[in-house]
Chains A and B, each alone.
Chain A
Amino acid sequence: MEDFEPTIIAFVCNWCTYTAADLAGTSRQSYPTNVRLIRVMCTGMVDPKYIIKAFLEGADAVLVSGCHPGDCHYINGNYKARRRMKLLKAILPQYGFDEKRLKLTWIGASDGIQFARTIRDMVSEIKELGPNEAKHAAVV
């Protein structure tokens, strides 16, 4: 799997992780280009459908990243997101989507360094895991 370059879909909260990603860029933190950022207003709006669709379309991993507990701009969106992740982690592995492919993190607006590190770690972990099997199958 030398030349396997994973595709990571990241749903990032506008108020924190998206800003952190921006900060990582402006402060010249380097992180792999494997990640496709999708800016959402809050992790609480990440419908499980988005994540399921990403995997069925062949994403090798999905990251959902939002504000730390207590910091959500909509008060509790991140707590709801955490329950949905709990749910999806009970569902997706049953169909062979490794649990490691689905991650939830809290990354605050000033955590540019942590954002870059999270992506780097994730890319190397997924490289080791190999590609998502659904990538080439006609499973939509």
Chain B
Amino acid sequence: MAKTSLCDAADQNLQTSLASFFRSMLGQDEISAIMAPMRLPAGDMVMQTLVTNPEQVDQIDPFAPAFPMNAARLVSRLTKRPAGGKVVVVLRPCEIRAHIELVKLKQGSMEDIVIAGIDCAGSFKNTDYKKFAEKDPETSTARFLKGVLSGETRFDGEVDLSAACRACTHMVPNGADLAIGIFGMDIDRQFLVSAETEKGEALFDKLGLKEQDAPGKREETIESLVAVREKFKNEMFEDTRSKTDTPEKLAAYLSGCINCYNCRVACPVCYCRECVFVTDVFDHDPYQYLRWARRKGKIRMPTDTVFYHITRMAHMSLACVGCGQCSNACPNDIPLVELFTATASQTQAAFEYEPGRSLEEEPPLAVFKEDEFAEVVEVKH
């Protein structure tokens, strides 16, 4: 059983209480830094920030509905070689799951980090977050949490929680060392801290947290939220499938794509240094275009668009954590997360693989068994 503690929210302010909670971590000598979403000095943007000075933790705001990028990419930068110090990284559940995948792909490690995962209530697309936060930057996170925890998904009558978040059923931070809970809590009064691993427990003890039980209604709250999300997800999948179930429909779905590859740059699990689609393989000779056009009568320019997307499905759908950063990054508002997660749900089911579930489960394409998948081999006569 995980050790849990209830931390009081001083002055009914979750944000300042979180700041003092994390500040106390920086007081522990083995913790060199904290990386957490923080309000930037100028403007209302919230971005992952690496802090070493306890005086500068004030602006921490992990529950802000801003999700400019999947921080697994940053954790991978911090951990691919020893950094010479332990860092507490504050992550959303989909960031933890993506990091677990990256570790398995040898793109980072768990060695020198302590993961403080948060209960994730969701986020807006970047452009929507701006609209929402602009109204009143100071209170925007509190306003968001108040609404979202009582079931709202649309705010100010104009911005919706992102599709990825509305369809996400992994709102609790599995894989975290220390979990910061808000579901089922009276967040004006307290938040939950629970030690999920040995590492987490060591820090829990060092911080001198008092062991207290999580409120009983927590499980229930989570279950009912999962049910709502599950329903949304199934409808989203069904809708997406009906829009992409023939090659022509798929091409139409992606017709606005300009091959900028932002979606793959933003994707935490697309980790290749050099994507094949930007290599010489796709740097076609001019005559090649004319040849294609002659054969088919016409070709869409740029070429290779559907090819790129289906190939990405083959390369990374098994590791897709459904974070929605692909959609967030697309300059043409192509509903990518809908498509990727719908496809990923099938490939992941085919290998009974769930990205981020465990560090021990090998990525399906990295291993094989001699005796398996007889059904994909045509039977001999």
Contacts and interface: CB of A to CB of B under 8 A. Distances in A.
Interface string B259-293: 00000000000000000100000000000000010
A114 B248 contact: no
| Interface majority SS (helix, strand, loop, mixed), chain A | helix
Contact of A104 (B245, B276, B317, B378): B378
Contacts of A79: 368-370
B376 A80 contact: no
A87 B376 CA distance: 10
B179 interface: no
A104 B378 CA distance: 6
A94 interface: yes
Interface string A118-138: 100000000000001110111
Interface string B111-138: 0000000000000000000000000000
Interface in A85-119: 85-92, 94-97, 103-106, 114, 117-118
A52 B249 contact: no
A88 B368 CA distance: 16
A97 B349 CA distance: 19
Interface string B363-381: 0110011101100111011
Nearest to A80: B368
Given A76-B368, A91-B347, A105-B380, A52 B310 contact: yes
Contacts of A87: 314, 318, 347, 350-351, 364-365
Contacts of A118: 378
Nearest to A105: B378
B346 interface: yes
A17 to B, nearest CB: 12
A86 B248 contact: no
B245 A95 contact: yes
Given A83-B368, A138-B298, A95 B246 contact: yes
A139 B304 CA distance: 8
A95 B378 contact: no
A98 to B, nearest CB: 11
Contact of A105 (B244, B248, B317, B377): B377
A84 B364 CA distance: 10
A66 B94 CA distance: 39
Contacts of A96: 245-247, 249-250
Contacts of A91: 310, 313-314, 317, 343, 346-347
- Size band of the interface chain B makes with A: 35 or more
Given A87-B347, A134-B247, A82 B300 contact: no
A86 B375 CA distance: 9
A50 to B, nearest CB: 10
A52 B307 contact: yes
Interface string B149-176: 0000000000000000000000000000
B234 interface: no
Given A94-B245, A133-B247, A137-B248, A82 B311 contact: no
A32 interface: no
Nearest to A111: B380
Contacts of A1: none
B227 interface: no
B287 to A, nearest CB: 16
B365 A137 contact: no
A96 B306 CA distance: 13
A56 interface: yes
Nearest to B251: A139
A23 to B, nearest CB: 16
B307 A86 contact: no
Interface of A: 48-49, 52-53, 55-56, 69-70, 76, 79-80, 82-92, 94-97, 103-106, 114, 117-118, 132-134, 136-140
Interface of B: 241, 244-251, 276, 292, 296, 298-300, 303-307, 310-311, 313-315, 317-318, 342-343, 346-347, 349-351, 364-365, 368-370, 372-373, 376-378, 380-381
Counting from the closest, the 5 A-B pairs by CB-CB distance are: A96-B246, A134-B247, A90-B350, A48-B314, A79-B368
